[in-house]
Amino acid sequence: MFNWFWNFLYGISKSMYRIIDFLMSCANMLCGIEPIRYQGAETDFLTFLLRNKSISYGFVAAVLLAVILTFIFGVAALIKAIASEKSNMTPGQVLVKVGKTLLMFLFIPVCLSILVYFTNVFMQTLYSATLGGSPDGIGRFLAGAFGQDALRNGVAEDFYLSEAFNYTSTSNVRNYLDLTDYDYFFSWMGSICIILSLGTTLLAFVDRAISIVVLFIFSPISISTSVVDDGAHFKLWRDQFFVKFLTAYGCIISINIYTLIIAAITSKGLVFFENGLLNNFMKILIIVGGSVSMQRIMALVGNLISAGAGSNEMRDNAMAAAGMRSAFGSATRAFTAPFRATRSAVNFVRDAKQFGFRSTVGQRLGFRTKRDYGVMSNSQMAQSKDLMREREKLRRQSNASFFGGESSMQKVLENKNGGKNNQDGGKNNNNNNAGAQKKENPIVNNAIENSLNKNKNDKK
């Protein structure tokens, strides 16, 4: 019933694994571990750059300049050797150095090609050895490592090495794993750390390729100074080249080693604390700390080549990353400049219409205006009057609806006044009747007396 939910969760994990494989493929190609194809032939990226025609022309031009500089430095060294008694070199030694320097110009391309080839072969072997046995990237290994606690009955622990296993197919994975027991949380944590590390180091790989090409072109000029400085500048060039050339390999290998450590750490068999929450927190701490340490692997490998060279490389990479962020921010601001200018112009027109032109200009220039002291503009005063009229109108409508309309209200008032008049009229009628009765009493009395007198006369 809830298969769709577990499929959704594994879909997030496998998407991260695929992103890691894509990033690793890009990094491996930039480093030379994976080959590229150029005009139907396989080669590594650095060899392709060093043999490019445009770069070769730049190297030839640098060699011609270096030959000229070598003769100039050679003449200066000969003059110093002949004129100075304290010189450490004889004229013959100077000529030997000049000859060795000129021969080195010819061997630079050959030596670099041999170095790149054998280094790539060596690093490919080391890279494969640190993949955990996975034949096609660490995504397959991660999918199997985080599923060790979800193995179905009869499935081997190294099932992910099988050619039939495809971590990008959820239905295929269900044949090996029970997705309800898959370690989703740690798979997400480890994958996010690896993605962030690869994303930040890819820029360093591009910088490495460009730096190696620059060092290749300027190598003859650095070698030409060997006649006068006993190879001090050439030693500096050599250290820079090896640092740029080998540190990227160290970063790639360290990522593979980091994945092996994650697979070992996330196993249920490893228990740091009996408290499950604290035990998982400890594992998360190791995973996050390892991802941070991978940023320092370049410095570690570089310092093994030359003292302090790796630290300087790391500092340069940090400065380059900061410059990249600044350039990206500047590009974003430049792209949005027309929109921001349009928005500012529209807001200025609206403010001028609402608060007045002088007040708006003063606000834009940072001066205090009448607006800051509560003085309303003509537009605001007109709006205030309109608002008061609208409120009065709404009040009248509310009263009218409460009493059932204006005509009904008038009838209520008339009935009220009419009732008072009727009451007053009734009081007056009662008073009149009472007065009439008071006035009729003497007449009645006279009539009664006359009747009595008439009866007496008849009896007589």
What confidence tens digit (pLDDT) does each residue in 138-156 have?
Answer: 888 888 888 888 888 888 8
DSSP codes of every residue in 327-381: HHHHHHHHHHHHHHHHHHHHHHHHHHHHH-HHHHHHHHHT---GGGGTPPPHHHH
Residue showing tokens 């090609």: 113
Q: Is residue 346 part of a domain?
A: no
**Do 55 and 213 meet the contact criterion of CB atoms below 8 Å apart?**
yes
- Rounded to whole angstroms, the Cα distance separating 142 from 131 reads 10
Give the whole-angstrom CA distance, residue 78 versus residue 95: 8
Residue span of the structural domain in which 443 resides: 403-460
Judging by beta carbons within 10 Å of its beta carbon (0-12, 13-18, 19+), is residue 460 exposed, middle or buried? exposed
Same domain, 251 and 120: yes
Helices in 84-183 by DSSP H: which ranges? 91-129, 138-145, 170-174
pLDDT at 376: 76
What is the arithmetic mean of pLDDT over 336-361? 80
Model pLDDT, residue 459: 45
Final residue before a domain boundary, out of 250, 278, 307? 307
Return the higher-pLDDT residue of 330 and 435. Answer: 330
Segment 82-91 shows an average pLDDT of 71
Q: What is the DSSP string of 86-110?
A: T-SS-HHHHHHHHHHHHHHHHHHHH
Query: What pLDDT score was predicted for residue 429?
Result: 47
Same domain, 34 and 151: yes
**Distance in angstroms (rounded) separating the CA atoms of residues 376 and 298:** 65
User: Which residues are 177's β-sheet partners?
Assistant: 151
The answer on 425 and 288 residing in a single domain is no
Two tokens at 409?
A: 């209200």
- Phi and psi at 38, nearest 5°, equal -135, 115
DSSP letter for each residue of 14-38: HHHHHHHHHHHHHHHHHHTSS-EEE
pLDDT of residue 108: 84
Q: Structural domain tally of the chain?
A: 2
Residue with more model confidence, 248 or 439: 248
Residue 174 belongs to some domain of the structure: yes
Is 13 a domain residue? yes
pLDDT at 437: 43
Which range has the top average pLDDT, 341-345, 415-419, 431-435? 341-345
Taking the C-alpha atoms of residue 354 and residue 296, their distance in angstroms, rounded to an integer, is 58
Res 15 pLDDT > 90: yes
Pairwise CA distance, residues 267 & 29, whole Å: 32
**Judgement on whether residues 233 and 106 belong to the same structural domain of the protein:** yes
How much is the pLDDT for 433? 47
Query: 263 and 148 in one domain?
Result: yes
Q: Which tens digit of pLDDT belongs to each residue from 111-127?
A: 888 888 888 888 888 87
The answer to whether residue 382 sits within a structural domain is no
What is the model's pLDDT at position 16? Answer: 92
**Which secondary-structure segment (H or E) carries 42?**
strand 41-43
Residues 439 and 294 in one domain: no
- Which of 73-77, 88-92, 339-343, 386-390 is least confident? 88-92
Q: Is residue 378 part of a domain?
A: no
- Reported as a pLDDT band with limits 50, 70 and 90, residue 336 is confident
Inter-residue contact 251 to 297 (CB < 8 Å): yes
Mean pLDDT (the chain) is 77
| Residue 158 pLDDT level (bands cut at 50, 70, 90) | confident
Q: Tell me what pLDDT residue 359 has.
A: 78
Distance CA 25, CA 23 (A): 5
Q: 402 pLDDT band (50/70/90 cuts)? A: low
CA neighbours within 13 Å on the CB side: how many for 363?
Answer: 15
Query: Which pLDDT value is given to residue 321?
Result: 62
In a domain, 247, yes or no: yes
Q: Is residue 70 within 8 Å of 104, Cβ to Cβ? A: no
Q: Are 146 and 186 in contact (CB under 8 A)?
A: yes
Q: What is the DSSP letter of 181?
A: G
pLDDT band at 438 (very low <50, low <70, confident <90, very high): very low
Confidence grade of residue 2 (pLDDT, cut at 50, 70, 90): low
Query: Would you state the structure tokens that stand for residue 328, as one six-digit string?
Result: 């990206």
Contact 77, 89 (CB under 8 A): yes
Under 8 Å between Cβ of 195 and 20: yes
Residue after which a domain boundary falls, among 307, 336, 354: 307
Q: Among residues 274, 289, 307, which one ends one of the domains?
A: 307
CA distances from 128 to 122, 137, 142, 345 (A): 10, 9, 15, 61
Q: Is 333 exposed, middle or buried (0-12, 13-18, 19+ CB in 10 A)?
A: exposed
Quickly tell me which residue has 């072997």 as its tokens: 125
Rounded to an integer, what distance in angstroms lies between the CA atom of residue 97 and that of residue 234? 13
CB 370 within 8 A of CB 362: no
In a domain, 196, yes or no: yes
Share of the chain above pLDDT 70, in %: 78
Residue 285 lies in a domain: yes
